[in-house]
Amino acid sequence: MTATAVRPAPVTLPRPGRSSRERRSHRRRWLLTAGLTAVAILVVFPLYWMVVSALTPGGQSQSSEFYLWPDAPTVGNFTEVFATQPVWRWLGNSLLVASVGTALSVCVSLGAGYALAKYRFRGRGLLYALFLVTIMIPIQVTLVPAFLVVARLGLVDSPWAVILPTLFDVVGIFIARQFMLGVPDALIEAARLDGAGELRTFFRVVLPSCGPLVGVLVILGFMNRWNDFLWPLVVLQGNESLTVPVGLSTLTSNPAFASPWGAVMAVATVAVVPLLVVFLVFQRTFVQGIASTGIK
Amino acid sequence: MSPHGETLTVPGTPAVATAAGSASVAGPASAGATTRRRRARWAPYLFVGPAGLLFLAFSLVPIVIAVALSFQDTATLGEGSWVGADNYRTMLSDPLLRTALLNTLVFTVGTVPTAMAIGLALAVALNRPLPGRGLLRALFFVPMVAAGVVVGVIMSWIFNPDYGVANNALRAVGLEGLPWLTSPRTAMLTLVLVVVWTRIGFCMVIYLGALQSIPSELREAAAIDGASRWQRFRRLTVPMLAPTTSILLILNVVFSLQAFDVIYVMTGGGPGFSTTVLIQYVFRSAFADARMGYAAALGLLLVLILLVFTLLRQRATKKAEELL
């Protein structure tokens, strides 16, 4: 950091010296903030540019003129792309896949996390090790075989082809297990003493103490599914059944638009804005969720 | 490691603690044993069952099929002929594989340390009381939210050599535009830049969490002892962050080795083969060249690299812990 280079100079008079040092540290703080703000602007710029390009008419965007805001902002790109492509369908498909997939996978992860954290049963260690190894296996390796499985089940081109294979979520199971380890055994024993069955114990006693965990799992799961690309690309075929990212990727090579980049940026904007809103509302949980994928 | 574990557990703790307290009052000491005997044997299998079945159907079976495919010569889906270790032998003399491995190395070495260094610098800066700190943290994190495809299309547009804002800005200040993605010499650098951009927020968040768990008394004591800011950073902060750094290193390498969407959308591995990394080559072999068997073998090579790296890293961490 630039600020770290500045060292306090030795001072002879204590009182004026302190105040000048204070002034210096004050100035340094503002310098640092200004520097960080500049970097932040650079970091956010690409997303800003996406929105600007979506609002820029073709004439101006297809020029080598430098501008930061269009002369005549227009929603023409949005109306054109929504009129010629089934963007609403893509959004609907994405929403369906992301919400149903997240809901089911959170249940699967909670159950598995609970069993792995709170029960001793035969094969537990092996099962957990096998689960964790799958983190290492990139989807490209199992892409073709997984496609064969889905094709065998007759699911190609249906939303279930996207939902089912992603229900098993190792990271989610891992986070759930870590959290459940922190639920006191005494709590579970107490519920059993009161005569509660296994399921009742889970739903009435364990689950209510897992609020923050569920929040993290939901937000992470939704984001990953909303943004998922390669698997939907392989199993979805008809233009009507695509999700937003796959639809978006088909547009870059679509010659049908007056201003292809304007259309692409319009759909990109529509794809990012819902997540940005979720991010701004649930910022704490969101950051916590991303951070917790780093626990190992 | 622990800081995030803690932040996760903290909100649930108060309710849990009080309930546990009342339980210990209610239950006699011997009750635990009785209830444990009463615990249903089927229960854990019921809870882990759905995950297990899904794992079997969509992870384990595909992996087994992938291993089988790697010993076959399969042009199209389905029928293949067993060729023994031919696919693995082909790998040894495949010049494209050598290019892909080299590109993977360049891409990983270019992205991982850069993203981690910038993330660390931002975390250290934003760990201080600064005006607008919360907003700045959020802004650095925003790129994480965008899908790889979205990042890919935005960046392709920004770095478009004719109409992109990057070259328009360069030309506006009198410089020459760069070819960015269209030249084999600059394409990889552009990709590294873009991927670093998506990654710094993540590194920053993880480092921030770890920094917050370093007791401030330590830093104050070092300052009283006359340690300069740089010395405190070098001698205190960096060693305290070592476990976090090692986790981030593993995660970032895994991310980089598996980075697909952005490269696929931005260059598709080109121009030529200048940005064809291993994972891109796996995809290409399977879907463009229709060599499923070879693609499976390449994919397993990638898994092997990932596994070896993780194990090495784990051993290094353990050794470091023993030394300390």
User: What's the per-residue H, E or C state across chain B?
Assistant: CHHHHHHHHHHHHHHHHHHHHHHHHHCCCCHHHHHHHHCCCCHHHHHHHHHHHHHHHHHHHHHHHHHHHCCEECCCCCCCEECCCHHHHHHHCCHHHHHHHHHHHHHHHHHHHHHHHHHHHHHHHHCCCCCCHHHHHHHHHHHHHCCHHHHHHHHHHHCCCCCCHHHHHHHHCCCCCCCHHHCCCCHHHHHHHHHHHHHHHHHHHHHHHHHHCCCHHHHHHHHHCCCCHHHHHHHHHHHHCHHHHHHHHHHHHHHHHHCCHHHHHHCCCCCCCCCCCHHHHHHHHHHHCCCHHHHHHHHHHHHHHHHHHHHHHHHHHHHHHHHC
- Cβ pair B20:A32 closer than 8 A: no
Q: Determine the distance from the C-alpha atom of residue B204 to the mean position of all C-alpha atoms in its chain, rounded to a whole number.
A: 14
pLDDT tens per residue across span A208-254: 888 888 888 888 888 889 999 988 988 888 888 899 999 988 887 66
Report yes or no: A272 and B147 within 8 Å, Cβ to Cβ: yes
pLDDT tens per residue across span A115-167: 998 888 888 888 888 888 887 787 878 888 888 888 888 888 888 989 988 89
- Say which residues have a Cβ less than 8 Å from residue A252's Cβ, sequence separation at least 6: A260, A264, B153, B156, B265
Q: How far apart are CA B177 and CA B201, in angstroms?
A: 28
Intervals of chain B under pLDDT 70: 1-40, 75-79, 316-317, 319-324
Count other C-beta atoms under 10 Å from residue A19's C-beta: 10
Instruction: Please report the pLDDT score of residue B136 as a whole number.
Output: 87
- Cβ pair B261:A144 closer than 8 A: no
Any CB–CB contact under 8 A between A32 and chain B?
yes
The chain B residue lying nearest A51, using CA atoms, is B154
- Say which residues have a Cβ less than 8 Å from residue A10's Cβ, sequence separation at least 6: none
- Cβ pair B146:A272 closer than 8 A: yes
Q: How far apart are CA A289 and CA B140, in angstroms?
A: 16
Q: Which residues does chain A have within 8 Å of residue B50's beta carbon, measured at their own beta carbons?
A: 107-108, 111-112, 167
Who among B22, B126, B153 is closest to A264 (CB)?
A: B153
The helix (H) or strand (E) run that includes residue A240 is none
Instruction: Please report the pLDDT score of residue A208 as a whole number.
Output: 87
Q: How far apart are CA B30 and CA B27, in angstroms?
A: 8
Q: Which residues does chain A have within 8 Å of residue B27's beta carbon, measured at their own beta carbons?
A: 186, 189-190, 193
- Cβ pair A189:B27 closer than 8 A: yes
Q: Which residues does chain B have within 8 Å of residue A291's beta carbon, measured at their own beta carbons?
A: 4, 7, 205-206, 209
Report yes or no: A131 and B74 within 8 Å, Cβ to Cβ: no
- Cβ pair A192:B168 closer than 8 A: no
- Find which of B1, B18, B150 to mutate to test the A interface (most A CBs within 10 Å of its CB): B150
What is the phi/psi pair of residue B81, to 5°?
Answer: -115, 140
Instruction: Please report the pLDDT score of residue B77 as a whole number.
Output: 56
Which residues is B82 bridged to in the sheet?
A: B72
Whether A5 has a pLDDT exceeding 50, the answer reads no
Q: List, as one string, the DSSP characters of A69-129.
A: S-SS--SHHHHHHHHHS-HHHHHHHHHHHHHHHHHHHHHHHHHHHHHHHH---TTHHHHHH
DSSP letter (8 states) at residue A11: -
Token pair 């035969």 is found at A122
The chain B residue lying nearest A234, using CA atoms, is B287
What is the pLDDT confidence band of residue A102, given thresholds at 50, 70 and 90? very high
CA distance A264 to chain B (A): 8
Q: What pTM value is reported for the model?
A: 0.81
What is the phi/psi pair of residue B270, to 5°?
Answer: -95, -165
- Cβ pair A49:B300 closer than 8 A: no
Q: Which residues does chain A have within 8 Å of residue B306's beta carbon, measured at their own beta carbons?
A: 136-138
Any CB–CB contact under 8 A between A233 and chain B?
no
Q: List, as one string, the DSSP characters of A127-190.
A: HHHHHHHGGGS-HHHHHHHHHHHHHHTT-TTSHHHHHGGGS--HHHHHHHHHHHHTS-HHHHHH
Any CB–CB contact under 8 A between A130 and chain B?
yes
The chain B residue lying nearest A131, using CA atoms, is B55
The chain A residue lying nearest B306, using CA atoms, is A136
* Cα first-last separation, chain A: 29
Report yes or no: B283 and B264 within 8 Å, Cβ to Cβ: yes
- Cβ pair A211:B35 closer than 8 A: no
SS3 of residue A229 by DSSP: coil
- Cβ pair A1:B250 closer than 8 A: no
Count other C-beta atoms under 10 Å from residue B20's C-beta: 18
Angle at B193 between CA B128 and CA A286, to 5 degrees: 50
> Strands B81-82, B72-73: parallel, antiparallel or unpaired by DSSP?
antiparallel
Token pair 């290492």 is found at A136
Report yes or no: B263 and B218 within 8 Å, Cβ to Cβ: no
SS3 of residue A270 by DSSP: helix
Handedness of CA B195, A236, A275, A139 (dihedral sign): negative
CA distance A206 to chain B (A): 9
Who among B131, B233, B261 is closest to A229 (CB)?
A: B261
Q: How far apart are CA A181 and CA B13, in angstroms?
A: 12
SS3 of residue A227 by DSSP: helix
Report yes or no: B150 and A268 within 8 Å, Cβ to Cβ: yes
- Pairs of residues, one from chain A and one from chain B, whose beta carbons lie less than 8 Å apart: 355
Report yes or no: B304 and B282 within 8 Å, Cβ to Cβ: no
Who among A140, A288, A295 is closest to B279 (CB)?
A: A140
The chain A residue lying nearest B2, using CA atoms, is A295
| Overall average pLDDT of the A164-182 stretch | 87
Report yes or no: A56 and A264 within 8 Å, Cβ to Cβ: no
Any CB–CB contact under 8 A between A126 and chain B?
no
Q: Which residues does chain B have within 8 Å of residue A198's beta carbon, measured at their own beta carbons?
A: 39-40, 43, 46
Who among A178, A249, A272 is closest to B5 (CB)?
A: A178
- Find which of A81, A114, A137, A284 to mutate to test the B interface (most B CBs within 10 Å of its CB): A137
The chain B residue lying nearest A285, using CA atoms, is B8
The chain A residue lying nearest B196, using CA atoms, is A43
Who among A1, A135, A290 is closest to B202 (CB)?
A: A290
Token pair 């698997």 is found at A231
| Overall average pLDDT of the A34-41 stretch | 91
Report yes or no: B143 and B201 within 8 Å, Cβ to Cβ: yes
